[in-house]
Every structure is written in C-alpha cells, then in structure tokens.
C-alpha cells in the first residue's frame, strides 16, 4: 500500500466497534483515507489554510474518536477563499500518488463543484456511478482512486429576498448542469427501456454540439462570486443546493466557524469548528443516538490503481 502515514500493524486487524464488525479490508481503506487526511492537513498547514472535518467525519470524531464503524469515506470543509487557494496550489503541492481533482480538471466535479483528494495508486469503483457506467461498457474518464471529499462553504446574503434570489439561481444552474452531464460526460443508457432511445438521441446531439458541463460550472462559480458577502451572518454548503433538505441541513451561522477545536481521529488529531454541536444538530438531529446503516457500497482495492481495472481490463471481483 503506497501511503506515507506510519500506521501500526494492529490497526489493520478486524474488530467490532459499537456492535458493528469492521473487516481488515475496510481498515485498509480507512488507512488510505487517514493518509489522505494527513497529507491534506500538511498542505493546509504549510499555506495557512483553515479547514474542518465535516459531515460523517465530524460526527465520527465527536462520537467515536475516529471513523463511524459503518462509514467508508471522509469529508472536510473550508471557506471559499481557502478552497480557491487550495485549488491554485494543488498542482505544485500534491505529488504522486496524490491528486486533487477540481471542477477545472474533472468532469464529475462539475456536477457538484467541489474537490476530491485521491490516492491514484488505489481503486474505488462506486456502485451507483462508476460500476453502473462500466456495466454498459463505458469507461469513466476521471479519477477512481480512493479519496476524501473537500467542500467549500459560501456566503449567504443576510437580506432574505436577496438570499432567495441567490439560492433559486444556483438551483436552476445546478439542475441544468446535472441533466447535461448525464447526457454527455456521465452518460449511461436509461434504466427504463422506453426512455433509452430519447436519452441516446440527446447524447448524440450534445456530443455533436460539443456541449459539456463546464459552462454550467462557470455560471455556478460566477453566481457565487457575484453574491460574495464576507461579513454575512450565515454560510451555506451550496454545492448541495439540489438536496431537498438543503435549507434545514446545510445553512449555518458563520459564528460556528469563528474558531477551531481539535478531536482525536484514530491516530490523528483533526480540526473541528467550535460550533460543531450546532453543525451536527443541523445535519443529524439527535446525533448522540445512532443506528447502523449500509455502507455506500462499491469495489475497493488498496493495492492497485484503478487503471488496472478500467484501462487494462482486469476482472473486478466485487461481491
């Protein structure tokens, strides 16, 4: 496994956590993600960029002192200015096997304009995206290395009418981008037979016109910049504007991020917003209680690059 982080051998042993058995194979996936978190932290510290754990990673740190036992990914978040700076320095700071995929260099990130830091010597083929595409003989043209998600936080105007205009405009752009990407870069045949001819024709039209999702990423980004209000009282995770629970789960007080606290996360110590409890309340409600849920699902390989399967065509032994 090509990672820099020194992880004790005992970590890789399977064990039961909170009534859930974590396999040795999943521990290897976690190890890759821990290494990515450590590399991400190194670069951010070097360039004085603020960031915090987010979503399930934040919940895992607070409640489990590490990964939620049935979780298989990691999320971090940062303010838009720091996120933009990270994207600028990434080509010079992240060396093989690390790759920061951004809306500028990856089609998938144009669907939801965020970034992914991946280990290019590993493989994750996700059940409902990559493996679905490969089922129809379509080879994804973007990174399939095990990754952590990096999300930006954006300003939300204090004036309610202006805030509504901003969010409605972003929603329209994201909705149109989502449809276009599924007809172009992320095209797969429709699941329902009667829809397949229609979607195939749209795919051919978009391909001949050389349409892609990049134009919508620019519109999305330009709208965010146009509504910059760095002194506003609220911030939002607007890359999830299409989420039906967006307004209740992903709009937060800026003051929750005024300072940083630290929590143990496996063998690391990682930053969290000082208002972590309020953030978790918005995400999960009563986050002190938990229920075991299914992992996101897919195929993992911590020893081979995804090119071993996608470009070279080696068989995938997925359950």
Domain ranges of the chain: 9-310
- Write the pLDDT tens digit of every residue in 219-257: 888 899 888 898 999 999 998 888 888 988 999 999 999
Q: How far apart are CA 249 and CA 319, in angstroms?
A: 33
| 95 or 137, which is more confident | 95
Mean pLDDT across the stretch 274-295?
87
- Note the helical H segments in 94-157: 108-111, 130-135
Mean pLDDT of the chain: 86
The DSSP symbol for 122 reads S
When pLDDT is cut at 50, 70 and 90, the band that residue 51 belongs to is very high
Residue carrying structure tokens 């209000």:
229
Specify the pLDDT at position 144: 83
Mean pLDDT across the stretch 136-158?
82
Q: How far apart are CA 60 and CA 57, in angstroms?
A: 5
Do 7 and 88 contact (CB within 8 A), yes or no?
no
Return the exposure string of 4-16: e unless at least 16 CB atoms fall within 10 Å of the residue's CB, then b: eeebeeeebeeee
Specify the pLDDT at position 136: 46
| Widest distance between CA atoms in the chain | 56
Specify the pLDDT at position 135: 54
Return the exposure string of 184-211: e unless at least 16 CB atoms fall within 10 Å of the residue's CB, then b: bbbbbbeeeeeeeeebeebbeebeeeeb
Q: With 0-12 CB in 10 A as exposed, 13-18 as middle and 19+ as buried, what is 266?
A: buried
Residue 268 in this model has a pLDDT that exceeds 80: yes
pTM of the entire structure? 0.88
Mean pLDDT across the stretch 67-90?
95
Angstrom distances, CA of residue 48 to CA of 43, 51, 129, 177, 235? 8, 10, 35, 33, 21
- Sign, CA dihedral 152-157-160-162, equals negative
Residue 190 in this model has a pLDDT that exceeds 70: no
């Amino acid at each position: 496994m090509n990672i820099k982080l020194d992880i004790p051998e005992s970590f890789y042993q399977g064990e039961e956590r909170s009534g859930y058995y974590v396999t040795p194979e999943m521990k290897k996936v976690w190890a890759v993600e821990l290494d990515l978190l450590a590399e991400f932290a190194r670069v951010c510290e070097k360039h004085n960029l603020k960031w915090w754990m987010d979503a399930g990673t934040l919940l895992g740190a607070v409640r489990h002192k590490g990964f939620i036992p049935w979780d298989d990914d990691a999320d971090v978040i940062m303010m838009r200015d720091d996120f933009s700076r990270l994207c600028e320095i990434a080509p010079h700071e992240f060396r093989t096997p690390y790759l920061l995929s951004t809306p500028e260099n990856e089609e998938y990130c144009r669907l939801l304009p965020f970034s992914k830091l991946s280990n290019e010597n590993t493989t994750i083929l996700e059940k409902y995206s990559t493996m679905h595409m490969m089922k129809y003989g379509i080879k994804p043209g973007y990174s399939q290395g095990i990754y952590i998600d990096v999300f930006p936080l954006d300003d939300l105007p204090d004036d309610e009418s202006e805030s509504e205009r901003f969010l409605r405009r972003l929603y329209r752009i994201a909705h149109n981008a989502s449809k276009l990407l599924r007809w172009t870069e992320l095209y797969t045949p429709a699941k329902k037979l009667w829809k397949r001819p229609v979607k195939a024709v749209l795919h051919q039209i978009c391909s001949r016109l050389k349409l892609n999702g990049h134009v919508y990423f620019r519109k999305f980004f330009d709208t965010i910049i146009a509504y910059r209000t760095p002194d506003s009282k609220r911030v939002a995770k607007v890359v999830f504007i299409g989420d039906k629970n967006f307004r209740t789960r992903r709009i937060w007080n800026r003051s929750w991020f005024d300072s940083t606290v630290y929590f143990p996360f496996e063998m690391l110590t990682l930053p969290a917003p000082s208002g972590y409890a309020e953030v978790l309340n918005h995400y999960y409600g009563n986050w002190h209680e938990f229920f075991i849920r299914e992992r996101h699902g897919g195929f993992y390989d911590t020893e081979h690059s995804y090119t071993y399967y996608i470009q070279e065509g080696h068989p995938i032994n997925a359950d």
